[in-house]
Amino acid sequence: MKADQPEFSEKDIENGRLLFAGACDFIFGAQKLGQLPPADLPEVAFAGRSNVGKSSLVNALTGRKTLARASSEPGRTKQLNFFNLKQQMLLVDMPGYGFAKAAKSVKEDWQDMMFDYLRGRPTLRRVMLLLDARIELKKNDIEIMELLDTAAVGFQIVLTKCDAVSPSGLVAKQKEIKAEAAKHPAAHPHIFPTSSETGEGIPMLRAELTLLAEPPESPTHD
């Protein structure tokens, strides 16, 4: 395990496996803030550029193939999709950003709605910001980090598609991303390299997210 990554015990890993093996159901798609479901469970939101692999990561975490579905055209998904994980946490799939074909008004609407959601959702525990390990950091990735700083919402970077990068390339990428994250007060210090194809990093990411979930109800005794 890399020195800059958190240590997890076997119990932590198992708790993560058990949580994400539980029932996980799509409950709502919100296109406007007034459509959001009740804020009664901890929420973790997944954000990233179009085609970064958000849907694949959510599916890998939950062990399903079609829980979250990617749009065939980047930028087409323009709503917040909520998934109830075992009545202990809501997973929120945010619309992808950085879609070149979208009209300027659509981009502005996205930013306005996302900022209002990020700033005003009391149960939002963390945003997992996905970055593609194969490509350079983009200007709008940094802009999203700045938006999260402004909204005072803690975020954690997850590198996707790490199976397509050489070991030395991945080390260099993590160093680059860690240096950028250090400039942002809302950034969590630990970065998670993952692959939805090979499962790399998925157990550790589950363990990290489980720490943010509502504890399971203890069995009652007569």
Average pLDDT over residues 65-85: 67
Q: CA dihedral defined by 173, 167, 70, 117, rounded to 10 degrees?
A: -30
CATH number 3.40.50.300 is the correct assignment for the domain at 10-210: yes
pLDDT band at 71 (very low <50, low <70, confident <90, very high): very low
pLDDT at 108: 65
Return the domain boundaries, the chain: 10-210
pLDDT band at 77 (very low <50, low <70, confident <90, very high): low
- For 150-188, the pLDDT digits (tens) are 999 999 999 999 999 999 999 999 999 999 999 999 999
